[in-house]
Amino acid sequence: MANIAADVVRYFLVNRRDVVYLKFILEAYEGMATMTTVQREGVIIRLTIPAGFAADIQELLAAISADIPLQETVFDEESELRA
């Protein structure tokens, strides 16, 4: 059996006004990450990153954070679904 690396999932708190801009930038790097809004109040987004692109996305996020505030956060989707 092949050892397949799992996707990396990261959560960020972003300003509402920056969501569309961030999604636009990430979509330009097709296949490197998908972005989903998981909490509208406070705007928490989930980035799902194929393991092979984790370092590339980290560099991209560092560059983007010069333009928009990105705050990595912990988010428990399971407890949100039960609420």
- What does the alpha-carbon distance between residue 63 and residue 48 come to, in Å, rounded to a whole number? 18
pLDDT at 70: 95
pLDDT(80) > 80: no
Topology of the domain covering 8-82: Alpha-Beta Plaits (3.30.70)
Mean pLDDT of 41-54: 93
The domain ranges of the chain are 8-82
- What does the alpha-carbon distance between residue 3 and residue 6 come to, in Å, rounded to a whole number? 9
pLDDT at 13: 96
pLDDT(52) > 70: yes
68: phi then psi, degrees, rounded to nearest 5: -135, 145
pLDDT at 49: 97
**What global pTM score does this model have?**
0.84
The better pLDDT of the pair 56, 6 is held by 56
